[in-house]
């Protein structure tokens, strides 16, 4: 008789569905039920408000741009950590995990200290006309900071397992470095890179603690959608807060579905090119 490490399929599936229902589906159902209390007219009025549109545009647009930046820089950093040996490499590798361990509020205070007009970096950037703290640029910096480790840690195992024989074969056939990267390496890394991009995007969309300190929370300028939700909760407008949260959830889910479709396409592309 074949013994299984885990219980049978039925029991395992039952536990998985119960856990998923309690942890994910039940809170989402409660959010949708609470949001329905605002009504259709209230939802339209909420979403058409200029302040709400500006906050959603900053939160979603900033998260998308931050994820793109992290995808590019994370690929470079992951490549350096895997392919090269140099003094301080282990320290640099450990620093990548700093945003994981650092409380978000502490990260926000630290970033504000650095980029404030009289901060260590802000004092140098201010004469150049670059203002980071209390601007949308500061929101972007905070989102990049919290999402960066997801890309690096997702890519590192794949980069470590990437055989160099294929690269050497491409070079022996006369391929240049950029041709080897875009035609040999990138197709293999594309699905994993998109996974890291999706994780960084999801992390940045709902970020609150590290953003509110450096953002300045100026309405119509540097105010993020999660802050609007907190403000509505403080005003006891629970239906409005739930409705805005549900809208953010749907928009984020739509972005993740698009990324998942791109992952599937990139996987097929990698199979065709390799």
- Decide: 104 and 146 in contact? Cβ < 8 Å: yes
Q: Angle CA(89)–CA(148)–CA(130) in degrees, nearest 5?
A: 105
Domains of the chain: total: 1
> Mean pLDDT over residues 106-113, rounded?
91
Q: Is residue 2 part of a domain?
A: no
pTM of the model as a whole: 0.85
The CATH number given to whatever domain includes residue 129 is 1.10.3720.10
Q: Is residue 24 part of a domain?
A: no
- Decide: 104 and 210 in contact? Cβ < 8 Å: yes
The residue range of the domain holding 164 is: 40-273
Q: Is residue 19 part of a domain?
A: no
pLDDT digits over 18-77, tens only? Answer: 888 888 888 888 888 988 888 888 888 988 899 999 999 999 999 999 999 999 999 999
Closest CA to 131 of 143, 142, 118: 118
Q: Is residue 215 part of a domain?
A: yes
Q: Is residue 28 part of a domain?
A: no
Q: Is residue 109 part of a domain?
A: yes
Q: Is residue 12 part of a domain?
A: no
Find all residues with CB under 8 Å of 81, minimum gap 6, and list them.
Answer: 89, 92, 93, 96, 152, 156
What torsion, rounded to 10 degrees, do the Cα atoms 249, 250, 251, 254 define?
Answer: 120
Q: Is residue 54 part of a domain?
A: yes
């Amino acid at each position: 008789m074949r013994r299984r490490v885990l219980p049978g399929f039925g029991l395992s599936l039952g536990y998985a569905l119960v856990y998923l229902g309690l942890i994910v589906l039940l809170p989402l159902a409660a959010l949708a039920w609470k949001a329905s209390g605002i009504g259709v007219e209230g939802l339209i009025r909420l979403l058409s408000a200029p302040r709400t549109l500006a906050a959603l545009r900053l939160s979603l647009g900033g998260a998308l741009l931050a994820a793109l930046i992290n995808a590019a820089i994370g690929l470079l950093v992951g490549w350096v950590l895997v392919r090269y040996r140099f003094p301080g490499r282990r320290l640099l590798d450990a620093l990548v995990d700093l945003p994981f361990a650092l409380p978000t509020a502490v990260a926000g205070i630290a970033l504000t200290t650095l980029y404030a007009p009289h901060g260590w970096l802000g004092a140098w950037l201010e004469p150049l006309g670059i203002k980071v703290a209390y601007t949308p640029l500061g929101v972007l910096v905070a989102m990049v900071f919290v999402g960066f480790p997801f890309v690096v840690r997702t890519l590192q195992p794949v980069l470590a397992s990437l055989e160099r024989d294929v690269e050497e074969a491409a070079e022996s056939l006369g391929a240049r470095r950029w041709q080897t990267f875009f035609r040999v390496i990138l197709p293999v890394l594309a699905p994993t890179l998109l996974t890291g991009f999706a994780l960084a995007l999801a992390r940045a969309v709902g970020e609150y603690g590290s953003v509110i300190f450096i953002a300045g929370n100026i309405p119509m300028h540097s105010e993020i959608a999660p802050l609007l939700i907190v403000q509505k909760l403080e005003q006891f407008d629970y239906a409005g807060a739930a409705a805005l949260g549900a809208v953010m959830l749907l928009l984020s889910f739509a972005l993740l579905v698009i990324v998942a479709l791109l992952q599937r396409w990139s996987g097929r592309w990698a199979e065709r090119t390799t």
